[in-house]
Amino acid sequence: MSRKIVICGSGFLGSYIAKELAKTSLRNIVCLASRNPAPKHAQLLASQSFSSRKEALSEPLAIDVTQTYESRLPAFAGAHTIISLVGILYGSPQQFDKVQLKGAENVARAASEIGARLVHVSAIGADVSSALPYFRTKGLAERAVFEHVPHATVLRPSLVFGPGDGFFARFGTLSRFLPFLPVFGDGITKFQPVYAGDIARFIALYVNADLESSNTSDATLKSDSASGSSSSTLPVDAIQGKIFECGGPDVFTYREMMEIVLKYSDRRRPIISLPWSVGKLQGWALEKLPENILTLTRDQVEQLKMDNVAHPSALVGARHGGVKPSVISPGHSAEAGLDELPGFASILKRHTSSGPTSVHDVLPSYM
């Protein structure tokens, strides 16, 4: 019996997820849903992943998730899983509230109404108490997701990379014409880049699992994935109702990532540290212009002051949705058993053919 998987958001990461779902199970029928899914739908149909299985990609759905959730129900009807990639990088506080909070909540309410599984992609740093609209609405969205779908799975990626990404590929292009690559505050902020294909593998592992029992105390998920998993079963409560912070095997400073850009672009440019005040001034000017390769906002400059490194263990969604691990008290962490819950990297290693992928294994293919 086929399974309808709706991907809300048809951008960079959505393409990886769609391809992985088509590759790992003949039962999966993928449907792209966004305001304008047609271009990405056509691109996927022409790709090798769907060349021999065009039936695995159903007609796209043009929807606006910021509208009432009731209006979304016909589009989601019959879905086995909904994967919510709802989010924006730039915008006013009102736009972040409308898209990242209300849009994500509408998807969650629709998933609850039709009884579909829900995978919601958030971000490391999501926090309801953040002064930054991006992180605050990410945190509020997580809380809304678990309120409507307690057994949802939330992923918080660090910087996502792969062919078509918006960071390494972007700075590789900038290095062609900029006389230097800038960093702010000496570029000491830490990141843990995660490969888009690994996030897709993790999601496919869950989507392709068959729930043997509704009793979460002893139920297991059995994978029918063709991804060469090293273990065939996975406890339900290891995935459902959890938050997974997703990072790769390497942690780099911002400056080190600029060095990596230059290394794989085969270019020599000085890396110059600029004061945070210069970054804020630059953001003030650039955020007023139409989005382009140079776009930078003042809030993004503030984000660059915060380390973006994944917590190694899974977090209990009902308890930690919308809260950064760093602000969870030690006693609360012990009570939650954080050290006992397998995280993103651990589950990939145990239940697929390999763990997270290094940037050094992928960047040479597209830089």
Q: How many domains does the chain have?
A: 1
Alpha carbon distance 336, 317 (integer Å):
11
| Mean pLDDT, the chain, integer | 87
Q: Residue 116: give the domain boundaries.
A: 3-165+192-249+309-356
Among 89-93, 171-175, 230-234, 298-302, the minimum mean pLDDT is found in 230-234
User: Is 268 inside any structural domain?
Assistant: no
Query: What pLDDT was estimated at residue 26?
Result: 83
User: Is the predicted pLDDT of residue 181 greater than 70, yes or no?
Assistant: yes
pLDDT for residue 270 is more than 70: yes
What distance in Å separates the CA atoms of residue 345 and residue 312, rounded to the nearest whole number? 7
The CATH number of residue 232's host domain is 3.40.50.720
- In-domain check, residue 62: yes
Residue type, 56: A
pLDDT digits (tens, 9 = 90+) for 318-350: 888 888 875 444 444 444 444 568 899 999 999
Whether residue 281 is predicted with pLDDT greater than 90 in this model: the reply is yes
pLDDT band at 217; cut points 50, 70, 90: very low
Alpha-carbon distance 107 to 192, whole Å?
28
User: Is 80 a domain residue?
Assistant: yes
pLDDT, one tens digit per residue, over 98-142 is 999 999 999 999 999 999 999 999 999 999 999 999 999 999 999
Residue 230 lies in a domain: yes
For residue 4, the 8-state DSSP code is E
pLDDT in tens, 284-320: 999 988 888 888 999 999 999 999 999 999 888 888 8
Reply yes or no on whether the pLDDT at 225 is more than 80.
no
The DSSP call for residue 291 is P
For residue 198, what is the enclosing H or E element?
A: helix 196-207
In this structure, is residue 366 part of a structural domain? no
Give mean pLDDT, residues 139-155.
97
Answer whether 184's CB lies under 8 Å from 282's CB: no
Q: Is residue 279 domain-resident?
A: no
Residue 256 domain-assigned? no
pLDDT higher for 73 or 181? Answer: 181
Section 158-176 average pLDDT:
94
Residue 234 pLDDT greater than 80, yes or no: no
pLDDT value of position 334? 41
In a domain, 276, yes or no: no
